[in-house]
Structure 1
Amino acid sequence: MPAKDFLSSMQKKRLQKALRESGCSHFRERVLMLLLLNDGKTYSEISGFIGCSYRTVAYWCVHGDPDQLDSLRDRREHGNFRKATEEYIQLLIEVTKKSPNQLGYECSNWSGERLANYLAQRTGIKLSGTQVRRILKQKNIRLPRGRVQLDNRANHTSKKLERNVSQQSQ
């Protein structure tokens, strides 16, 4: 662990400026880790103060380079949808404007899982329903909450169709 005041005054100023100006909470958190370490705090104290794991603090304090602020960044600033291309997101938005009935489903509302399965078949990109809902949330698109009750036979048909769609995409 580096000694207290291991940062030069220029490094410290650069980190403080980045802390004030960055819009990414993860980046700011990592910058703060280095600044707290410079103030003589231990990894345990830093993890308790920030509210993250000891391992996270240890990793970023070792791998974060105060001379290269980009070493503290990752893709979260740009959205962490590594698999979801712009084309996928556009198709997702278009599909949510249609009813599942129009696309062969026996239900009237989309779920995240249903959308993920349908788009996996169309694009070959497999995401979880949670990831699809996260993308929709970022785009300020809400799926209808009201669910139409289906009798057991129709519900069984819908699940069977979903299984067929997911099997075809594999």
Structure 2
Amino acid sequence: MSAQLGFRGLGLCALIALAACGRLAGDDKKPPQLMHIKSASRSPDEFTVLPTKALQMPEDVAVLPEPTPGGTNITDPTPEADAVAALGGNPKLLERAAVPAGNGGLVSYASRFGQAQGIRDVLAAEDLEYRRKHDGRLLERIFKVTVYYRAYKPMSLDQYAELERWRAVGAKTEGAPPEDVAAAKKK
């Protein structure tokens, strides 16, 4: 009886190891997933469906632009522009690619030490490498345990230590909840 249980346990370990090998085989191709959150329901997400604007006939059909593959359509929803217009702003300002003249001083001050070209691509590649190194242990990957918070903990800011540092140099700071209250809210 004991030998039979031993063989079953050995078989179970072999099955888990085989499943792990299959799970790890394609890991170099796809980016690691540190956060594993799934919805409990199987219903569609109604917020991903955006209704189109009502169709309307232009005053002059000859001035319509040529259709471009992947381009925009006048019936496409534009929630950001609609929100700007509803709040009294100018939605045309969202289309500008250049820096507005009023922000030139801010941009030149922010880039006074130079600016790295392609910084977004560099940061994305570095973060991908970091996530691959901190993808969790074997069983965490197999059972899809969220390891995001543990992986990025060395990069998180201790808000209370930072608050005390600024107060020590005499800077005016906003209040923060006591540490025991903040810890109680996390639980």
TM-score interval (norm. to shorter): under 0.3
Scaled by the length of structure 1, what TM-score is found? Answer: 0.25
Higher RCO (C-alpha 8 Å, min separation 6)? 2
Scaled by the length of structure 2, what TM-score is found? Answer: 0.23
Higher Rg: 2
